[in-house]
């Protein structure tokens, strides 16, 4: 019920200042004496308040039963918890005679008043929190879901963001390496979720058995770890909020990029710009507060961590190794040899002992095969008959001049096989020179009808430019007096007359 405050105030002024009697007010306003006493007792209308809760004869006896069901649901995954409708159906079977609306309101109220209450935490300089988020990105015209790594510093609220194909050991490694470089040091303590990438077994409330991969990272940078209790992400609430902030501000609208490295360059620049912000209640910008964080950091080690997942394997008879369910080629000389595969977020590096023997772009698909045709050129020279059917050569798109060269070699050689072998020897120049340089060399060779491998190789060897030099006598004027006799070529004529012998 609405009460006019002007009317309320006027009655109080007249009576309490002694300007009008209570009897006159009762007669003039036509109100009950209890109403007048309330006006004089309260400086503003107190409103209607229940002294006791209204009785709920139908739903009341079932409130405890509903609370019991909701409490048990907390230990079950969200997708299998009771809805208000399902609770209503259950208590109907137990004798409830009211309507669904009362049950729905009771469920809403119970959930509201039993929500978790959190303790505000203090954030000290030099500490960090890590989490992953997911967002849609348009990569080369294809809409894809990508993961993004976030490391946040709660004290200064500075943060670093890096996108990756998925949440895995390699992306955690690379995210840490780049974040530490961005912040200029290593946080002394970092808080994480209980992800399987980092935790192999949960032993107790705070005890964890950590994966070897995470232990290697920690041993290199020497930071302390802290893992949230199970289902308690509020213990790293700062980075949880940063993940949401990043999604809403950096991935809306959906980024349009050529690849993830381009996206990471954009994200890095946005993280730098964010350092200029001043937070509500803060004593300075994020960049200014970061200085206090850095004072509590551990210095960066002399060399960065090798952010890759390693796997020892052996090259097959097809000169292939398998890593992460994909096959990658190595030079045929390393077939049947032990190979160390190092998987980074963007490439796969293959090593034999201490030597890098091959490198491929990283594939995040499954059961694919990736050849480098250069790896198979020595084998092709030994098996020239496989030139037109070799699978690694299928992706080698040769310029038209190579077809001309092959036809001419076949016509010049005594046998077709010799022409193919010589053509393969020309292809082997790709082991040392780019396709563009070899193309120009082949075109020059065709132009002067020099088709052999050795002839074409001459056009690839850089030659020093010979310019005309002018001899000057500055500082050597005495040489002007030197007389040089004309050459006598009669000795050469005598040599010719004797048949080239002396």
What confidence tens digit (pLDDT) does each residue in 193-236 have? 888 999 999 887 778 899 999 999 999 999 999 998 776 666 78
Give residue 48's pLDDT band: very low, low, confident or very high (50, 70, 90).
Answer: confident
Q: In sequence order, what are the residues at sequence separation of 6 or more whose Cβ sits closer than 8 angstroms to the Cβ of residue 148?
A: 132, 133, 134, 135, 161, 162, 163, 164, 246, 267
What pLDDT shows up at residue 468?
Answer: 55
Note the pTM of the prediction, 2 decimals.
0.70
Our CA dihedral for 256, 259, 262, 263, rounded to 10 degrees, sits at 60
**Rounded mean pLDDT of 22-40?**
92
Which residue(s) pair with 347 in the sheet?
361
The band of 466, judged by pLDDT with boundaries at 50, 70 and 90, is low
Alpha helices in 275-320 (DSSP H): 286-295
CB 154 within 8 Å of CB 94: no
pLDDT tens-digit readout, 229-250 = 776 666 788 999 999 999 999 9
- Residue 32 in this model has a pLDDT that exceeds 90: yes
The Cα–Cα gap between 448 and 265 comes to 49
Q: Which of 41-55, 171-185, 285-299, 488-502 has the lowest mean pLDDT?
A: 488-502
List the single range of 90-94, 117-121, 394-398 with lowest mean pLDDT: 117-121
pLDDT at res. 1:
59
User: What span, in angstroms and rounded, lies between the C-alpha atoms of 353 and 335?
Assistant: 14
pLDDT at 3 over 90: no
Write down the pLDDT at residue 502. Answer: 45
Q: Which of 81, 112, 110, 85 is nearest to 99 (CA)?
A: 85
- Sequence-distant (6+) residues with CB within 8 A of 284 are 278
Are 124 and 155 contacting, i.e. CB atoms less than 8 angstroms apart?
yes
Compute the distance between CA of residue 72 and CA of residue 1 in angstroms, rounded to an integer. 42
- Mean pLDDT along residues 31-46: 90
Distances (CA, A) of 260 to 13, 195, 362, 377, 378: 73, 23, 12, 33, 35
Q: How many CB atoms lie within 10 A of CB 156?
A: 25
Lowest-pLDDT choice from 340-344, 355-359, 416-420 = 416-420
One DSSP character per residue, 219-241 reads: HHH--EEEEPPTT-GGGGHHHHH
| E runs forming strands in 240-323 | 256-257, 309-314, 320-323
Q: What is the distance between the alpha carbons of residues 161 and 263, in angstroms, rounded to a whole number?
A: 10
Q: For 423-428, what is the mean pLDDT?
A: 91
To which H or E segment does residue 257 belong? strand 256-257
Q: Is the peptide bond before 253 cis (omega within 30 degrees of 0)?
A: yes
Mean pLDDT of 352-359: 92
332 within 8 A of 376, measured Cβ to Cβ: yes
Query: Per DSSP, what are the bridge partners of residue 349?
Result: 342, 359
Residues in the chain: 502
Ranking 262-276, 403-417, 443-457, 462-476 by mean pLDDT, the lowest is 462-476
pLDDT above 90 covers a percentage of the chain that reads 62
Q: By C-alpha distance, which of 200, 204, 209, 197 is closest to 229?
A: 204
Supply the pLDDT for residue 414: 64
Identify the burial level of 311 via C-beta atoms within 10 angstroms of its C-beta, where 0-12 means exposed, 13-18 middle and 19 or more buried.
Answer: middle
Arithmetic mean of pLDDT, 307-326: 93
Cβ(47)–Cβ(19) below 8 Å: no
Say what percent of the chain tops pLDDT 70. Answer: 93
Find the radius of gyration of the CA atoms of the chain: 42
Least confident of 24-33, 93-102, 120-129, 482-491: 482-491
Token pair listed for 235: 């213990």
Q: Which residue has the higher pLDDT, 77 or 1?
A: 77
Please state the rounded mean pLDDT for residues 127-144: 94
Q: Are strands 127-139 and 256-257 parallel, antiparallel or unpaired?
A: parallel
Q: What is the pLDDT of residue 134?
A: 95
pLDDT, averaged across the chain: 88
Look-up of token digits 């949960």: 202
Least confident piece of the model among 245-254, 391-400, 405-414, 479-488: 479-488
The SS3 call for residue 167 is: coil
Q: What residue ranges in 365-449 does DSSP mark as E strands?
A: 369-370
């Amino acid at each position: 019920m609405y009460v006019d405050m002007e009317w309320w105030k006027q009655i109080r002024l007249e009576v309490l200042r002694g300007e009008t009697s209570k009897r006159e007010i009762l007669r003039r306003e036509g109100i009950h004496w209890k109403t007048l006493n309330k006006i004089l007792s309260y400086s503003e209308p107190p409103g209607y308040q229940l002294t006791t809760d209204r009785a709920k004869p139908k739903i009341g006896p079932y409130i405890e039963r509903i609370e019991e069901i909701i409490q048990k649901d907390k230990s079950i995954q969200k997708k299998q918890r009771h809805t208000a409708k399902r609770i209503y159906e259950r208590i109907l079977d137990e004798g409830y005679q009211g309507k669904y609306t009362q049950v729905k309101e009771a469920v809403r109220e119970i959930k509201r008043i039993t929500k978790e209450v959190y303790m505000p935490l203090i954030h000290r300089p030099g500490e960090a929190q890590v989490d992953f988020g997911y967002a849609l990105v348009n990569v080369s015209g294809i809409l894809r879901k990508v993961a993004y790594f976030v490391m946040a510093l709660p004290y200064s609220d500075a943060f670093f963001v890096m996108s990756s194909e998925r949440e895995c050991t390699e992306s955690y490694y690379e995210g840490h390496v780049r974040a530490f470089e961005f912040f200029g040091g290593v946080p002394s303590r970092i808080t994480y979720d209980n992800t399987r990438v980092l935790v192999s077994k949960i032993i107790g409330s705070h005890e964890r058995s950590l994966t070897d991969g995470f232990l290697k990272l920690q041993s290199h940078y020497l930071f302390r770890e802290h893992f949230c209790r199970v289902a308690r992400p509020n213990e790293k609430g700062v980075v949880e909020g940063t993940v949401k902030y990043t999604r809403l501000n950096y991935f809306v609208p959906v980024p349009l990029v050529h690849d993830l490295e381009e996206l990471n360059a954009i994200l890095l620049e946005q993280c730098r710009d964010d350092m200029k912000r001043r937070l509500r209640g803060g004593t300075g910008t994020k960049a200014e507060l970061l200085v206090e964080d850095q004072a509590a950091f551990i210095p960066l080690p002399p060399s960065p961590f090798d952010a890759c997942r390693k796997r020892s394997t052996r090259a097959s008879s097809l000169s292939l190794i398998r890593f992460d369910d994909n096959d990658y080629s190595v030079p045929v000389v390393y077939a049947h040899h032990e190979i160390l595969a190092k998987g980074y977020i963007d490439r796969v590096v293959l090593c034999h002992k201490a030597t890098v023997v091959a490198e491929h772009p990283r594939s995040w698909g499954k059961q694919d095969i990736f050849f480098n045709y250069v790896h198979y050129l020595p084998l092709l020279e030994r098996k020239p008959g496989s030139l037109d059917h070799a699978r690694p050569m299928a992706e080698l798109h040769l310029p038209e001049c190579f077809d001309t060269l092959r036809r001419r070699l076949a016509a010049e050689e005594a046998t077709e096989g010799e022409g193919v072998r010589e053509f393969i020897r020309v292809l082997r120049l790709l082991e040392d020179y780019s396709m563009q340089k070899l193309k120009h060399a082949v075109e020059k060779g065709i132009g002067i009808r020099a088709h052999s491998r050795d002839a074409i190789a001459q056009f690839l060897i850089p030659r020093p430019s010979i310019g005309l030099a002018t001899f000057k006598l500055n500082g050597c004027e005495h040489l002007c007096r030197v007389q040089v006799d004309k050459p006598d070529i009669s000795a050469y004529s005598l040599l010719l007359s004797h048949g080239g012998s002396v």
